[in-house]
Amino acid sequence: VVRRLSLYLRQLDALRVLGKPTISSRELGDSLRLTDAQVRKDFAYLSALGVAGRGYPVEELATRIRSTLGTDRSWNVVLVGAGNLGRALAAYQGFASKGFLLRGVFDVDAAKAGSSIGDIPIALMSTLPEVVKRESVQLGVIAVPPTSAQDVADQLIDAGVVGLLNFSPVQLSVPQRVSVVSVDLAAQMEQLVFQVSANAARK
């Protein structure tokens, strides 16, 4: 359900650029391959504000979705792991533009710590707790090898982080108060292969 809210938000942002003041559930649904009823149900869930005969006001709807997701406020983030993926994530524009403020990049490797990604310095893991506290960091991104993922997760949680975005292919075990979203790239690829095979089988 929440996954779709993000999709709506992308679409609405595009519409705003086009200057469209209003959008119908049918139109929005078509562009995302959803039924119009589905779209209306979703918006009802955020006690919606559609105008019969017109549709939904683009601007207000976007604001409403953002406040439901929690992206109306900005969030402090740290990233652990300055390998290839970590570097790419640190430089990724999509985060900064959506209110995610990168407060630090960390690595265990002393050789990496000291260098920097763009204008973001890479720090040693040992300095993590201090930064998390000082900057009130709530979210941590894990881009380290699978073998150290759980260890890094524990350190982040000890330091006070309450949400983890995990890019390593392991199931993290965390206390209830901490939320985890995992992105397993190999799994996505497997997903794709399955769909391709299924698609080919269906003649």
Member of 9, 12, 50, 168 binding DNA (CB under 7 A) = 50
49 counts as binding its own copies under rule CB under 8 A: no
Cα–Cα distance for residue pair 72/81, rounded to 1 Å:
28
Q: Is 187 in the site for its own copies (CB under 8 A)?
A: yes
The C-alpha atoms of residue 5 and residue 90 are separated, in whole angstroms, by 25
Give the footprint of its own copies on residues 55-114 (CB under 8 A). 68-71, 75, 83-85, 87-89, 91-92, 94-95, 97-98, 100
User: How many of the chain's residues bind its own copies (CB under 8 A)?
Assistant: 62
Does 49 sit near DNA (CB under 7 A)?
Answer: yes
* Size of site (CB under 7 A) for DNA: 23
CB of 125 to DNA, least distance (A): 36
Nearer to DNA, 3 or 177 (CB): 3
CA distance 104 to 91: 12
Which listed option, its own copies, DNA, none, makes contact with residue 92 (CB within 5 to 8 Å by class)? its own copies
Q: Does 16 bind DNA (CB under 7 A)?
A: no
Strand order in the sheet with 100-107: 116-117, 120-124, 100-107, 75-80, 139-142, 163-166, 179-182
Q: Does 10 bind its own copies (CB under 8 A)?
A: yes
Q: Which is nearer to DNA, 53 or 70 (CB)?
A: 53
Which of 17, 33, 53, 119 touches its own copies (CB under 8 A)? 33
Of residues 44 and 96, the one with the C-beta less far from DNA? 44
Q: Which residues bind its own copies (CB under 8 A)?
A: 2-3, 5-7, 9-11, 31-33, 68-71, 75, 83-85, 87-89, 91-92, 94-95, 97-98, 100, 138-139, 162-165, 169-171, 176-181, 183-200
